[in-house]
């Protein structure tokens, strides 16, 4: 598997990422079976054996179930954590979340970003994200709020590197005026 170094980070990752959007099944609170956890464990192990080291998540995938089943599977595979680059995204609310009637929306507020990362870490059964991406641009987002959240998440060691997803060059330049951390990725 070909690899490359993500500029500004020192991270060496596979050219192919393993996208975990569908591994959690349908949204809703559920208990995963041993068979489901074992299947996800086999997917992770097989990906690593093939040289795929970049694992992509988002807090909204299957309403958190994708991260949760991945984290449950990783409990049985602790030696793999340091062999993978774990990336997740945040900044989107589903319709009716957290309250019935709430609209689907983007939210780059300090509180939402920090609580989203803490939820992802818990579901993923890890102490850190190697990369956190802002999941699509928030047209009403305040870059100062993003900078405050990034500073706290980085200082606490919960997030090592930062980036964005589906941002335009001008949106990235605006964020760069406020955040201290390099934005190392724009996942399109």
The set of catalytic residues is 61
CB atoms within 10 A of CB 127: 10
CB 132 within 8 A of CB 117: yes
Pick the closest to residue 158 from 138, 130, 177, 137 (CA basis).
130
CB 127 within 8 A of CB 121: yes
Alpha carbon distance 83, 7 (integer Å): 19
User: What is the C-alpha R_g of the chain?
Assistant: 16
CB 183 within 8 A of CB 164: yes
Strand stretches in the chain, DSSP E: 3-5, 12-14, 17-19, 54-56, 85-90, 92-93, 105-106, 129-135, 159-165, 183-187
């Amino acid at each position: 598997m070909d690899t490359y170094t993500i500029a500004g980070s020192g991270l060496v990752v596979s050219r192919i990422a393993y996208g975990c959007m569908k591994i959690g099944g349908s949204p809703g609170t559920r208990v995963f079976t041993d068979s489901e956890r074992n299947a996800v464990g086999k997917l992770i192990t097989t990906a690593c054996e093939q040289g795929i080291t970049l694992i992509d998540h988002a807090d909204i995938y299957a309403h958190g179930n994708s991260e949760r089943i991945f984290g449950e599977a990783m409990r049985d595979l602790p030696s793999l954590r340091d062999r993978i680059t774990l990336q997740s995204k945040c900044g989107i609310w589903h319709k009716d979340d957290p309250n019935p009637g709430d609209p689907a929306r983007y939210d780059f507020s300090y509180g939402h970003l920090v609580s989203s990362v803490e939820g992802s870490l818990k579901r993923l059964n890890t102490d850190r994200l190697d990369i956190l991406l802002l999941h699509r641009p928030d047209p009403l987002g305040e870059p100062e709020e993003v900078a405050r959240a990034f500073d706290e998440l980085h200082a606490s060691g919960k997030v090592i590197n930062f980036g964005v997803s589906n941002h335009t060059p001008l949106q990235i330049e605006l964020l760069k005026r406020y955040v201290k951390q390099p934005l190392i990725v724009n996942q399109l």
